[in-house]
């Protein structure tokens, strides 16, 4: 009974190995060279390939690289700006294959005619050109604004995201896509800061533009919104009132005057997120951070002595005089107005 089990187990292993070989051969015969490499490369690093599979791996490696190289040359020769995404992906494939086989023994590399490829420059250049084209093209399509163009732009953005998930244009393109696709938008506001906000601040923040008929800041009954844009306020920070002073002496026709140039300054910063939600208000699709600063700065001069000794510039500064520092509330309203202007421009 034990002998039978051993024979059965050995037969099973042999069958599995034969099946694997047949599958690898089929992949090779079908021109699926990268699948062959993916299947055999781990075993090649361990030196566990028989001659047949070693030849399949070597032939797949060179055939795939040759195909990519010829296609890259063809694309570059065309001179078209839309070729760089494919050029970049093919360089990536070549680089990936090269790295997959880098762990083989020196003798196996020689037998395979393997050469380490230095594609860093080609990868960087083609990636940059691909990103520029995809971003520019997607933006141009969104400017057209029709349904077909928006659909094509979405494909471009997906491709851009695959090329470089960290591309800084992605968030803005997604935001524009959502706004262009929506026929009705609800603008909401959420205060997560510790500050109590005036009604004037909130009104300045969510004021809608007459040009944007599809945007409303007041939820209406029996209205279905395609998109909800929420302004989430996280911080309101004001700096203390501050005065810089520089003292010097001026002289004219024997007359002297002590001059102190002063600069009063104060600022307030609001920070938070602009959040884009699905129409049900539950699924967050995009969050874009914002930081808006309202700054007060006033230059003036004070003198001690004979004003006739002052230069014309100093006299202008004296005339400017000191003005009261603005309140935190007034700076907050100014910052809210700035943020609202930026948001309305985006929603256009």
* Under 8 Å between Cβ of 178 and 227: yes
pLDDT tens-digit map of 234-260: 999 999 999 999 999 999 888 999 999
- State both tokens at 294: 């309202």
Residue 155 has pLDDT above 90, yes or no: yes
pLDDT tens-digit map of 167-199: 999 999 999 998 888 888 888 888 999 888 889
pLDDT tens-digit map of 62-83: 999 999 999 999 999 999 999 9
Residue 22 has pLDDT above 70, yes or no: no
How much is the pTM?
Answer: 0.68
Sequence-distant contacts of 317-320: CB under 8 A, at least 24 apart: 317/261
| Tokens 């021109």 found at | 31
pLDDT tens-digit map of 46-66: 888 899 999 999 999 999 999
3-state secondary structure the chain: CHHHHHHHHHHHHHHHHHHHHHHHHHHHHCCCHHHHHHHHHHHHHCCCCCHHHHHHHHHHHHHHHHHHHHHHHHHHHHCCHHHHHHHHHHHHHHHHHHHHCCCCCHHHHHHHCCCCCCCHHHHHHHHHHHHHHHHHHHHHHHHHCCHHHHHHHHHHHHHHHHHCCCCCCHHHHHHHHHHHHCCCEEEEEEECCCCCCCHHHHHHHCCCCCCCCCEECCCCCCCCCCEEEEEEEEEEEECCCEEEEEEEEEEECCEEEEEEEEEEEEEEEEEEEEEEECCCCCCEEEEEEEEEEEEEEEEEEEEEECHHHCCHHHHHHHHHCCCCCCCHHHHHHHHHHHHHHHHHHHHC
pLDDT tens-digit map of 88-117: 999 999 999 999 999 999 999 999 999 999
Instruction: Write down the pLDDT at residue 332.
Output: 95
Radius of gyration of the chain (CA): 34
* Under 8 Å between Cβ of 313 and 259: no
Residue 306 has pLDDT above 70, yes or no: yes
Residue 154 has pLDDT above 50, yes or no: yes
Q: Who has greater pLDDT, 333 or 215?
A: 333
- State both tokens at 314: 């100093």
Instruction: Write down the pLDDT at residue 282.
Output: 75
Measured CA to CA, the distance from residue 139 to residue 149 in angstroms comes to 10
Q: What is the pLDDT confidence band of residue 2, given thresholds at 50, 70 and 90?
A: very low
Instruction: Write down the pLDDT at residue 222.
Output: 60
Question: How many Cα atoms are found within 13 Å in the side-chain-facing hemisphere of 311?
Answer: 11
Residue 6 has pLDDT above 90, yes or no: no
- State both tokens at 9: 């187990």
Mean pLDDT of 332-345: 93
Measured CA to CA, the distance from residue 270 to residue 248 in angstroms comes to 38
Residue 221 has pLDDT above 70, yes or no: no
Q: What is the pLDDT confidence band of residue 124, given thresholds at 50, 70 and 90?
A: very high
Residue 233 has pLDDT above 50, yes or no: yes
What mean pLDDT value characterizes the chain? Answer: 89
Instruction: Write down the pLDDT at residue 15.
Output: 45
pLDDT tens-digit map of 279-304: 766 788 899 999 999 999 999 999 99
Q: What is the pLDDT confidence band of residue 215, given thresholds at 50, 70 and 90?
A: confident
Mean pLDDT of 150-154: 93
Residue 159 has pLDDT above 60, yes or no: yes
């Amino acid at each position: 009974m034990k002998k039978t089990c051993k024979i059965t187990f050995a037969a099973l292993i042999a069958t599995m190995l034969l099946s694997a070989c047949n599958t690898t051969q089929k992949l090779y015969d079908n021109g699926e060279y990268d699948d062959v490499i993916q299947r055999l490369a781990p075993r090649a690093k361990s030196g566990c390939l028989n001659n047949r599979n070693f030849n399949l791996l070597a032939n797949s490696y060179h055939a795939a690289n040759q195909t990519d190289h010829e296609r890259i040359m063809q694309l570059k020769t065309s001179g078209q700006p839309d070729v760089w995404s494919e050029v970049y992906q093919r360089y990536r494939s070549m680089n990936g294959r090269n790295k997959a086989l880098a762990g083989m023994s020196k003798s196996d590399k020689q037998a395979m005619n393997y050469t380490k490829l230095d594609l860093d420059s080609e990868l960087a250049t083609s990636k940059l050109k691909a990103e520029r084209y995809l971003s520019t093209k997607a933006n141009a399509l969104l400017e057209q604004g029709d349904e077909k163009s928006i659909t094509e732009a979405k494909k471009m953005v997906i491709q851009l995201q695959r090329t470089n998930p960290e591309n800084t244009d992605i968030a803005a393109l997604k935001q524009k896509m959502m706004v262009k696709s929506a026929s009705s938008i609800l603008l909401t506001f959420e205060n997560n800061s510790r500050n109590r906000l005036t009604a004037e601040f909130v009104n300045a923040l969510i004021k809608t533009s007459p040009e944007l008929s599809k945007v409303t800041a007041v939820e209406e009954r029996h209205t279905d919104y395609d998109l909800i844009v929420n302004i989430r306020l996280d911080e309101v920070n004001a700096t203390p009132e501050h005065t810089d002073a520089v003292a010097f002496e001026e002289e004219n026709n024997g007359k002297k005057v002590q001059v102190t140039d002063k600069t009063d300054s104060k600022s307030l910063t609001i920070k938070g997120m602009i959040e884009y939600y699905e129409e049900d208000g539950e699924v967050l699709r995009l969050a874009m951070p914002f930081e808006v600063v309202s700054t007060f700065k006033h230059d003036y001069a004070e003198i001690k002595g004979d004003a006739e000794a002052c230069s014309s510039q100093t006299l202008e500064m004296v005339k400017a005089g000191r003005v009261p520092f603005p309140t935190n509330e007034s700076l907050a309203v100014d910052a809210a107005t700035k943020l609202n202007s930026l948001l309305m421009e985006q929603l256009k």
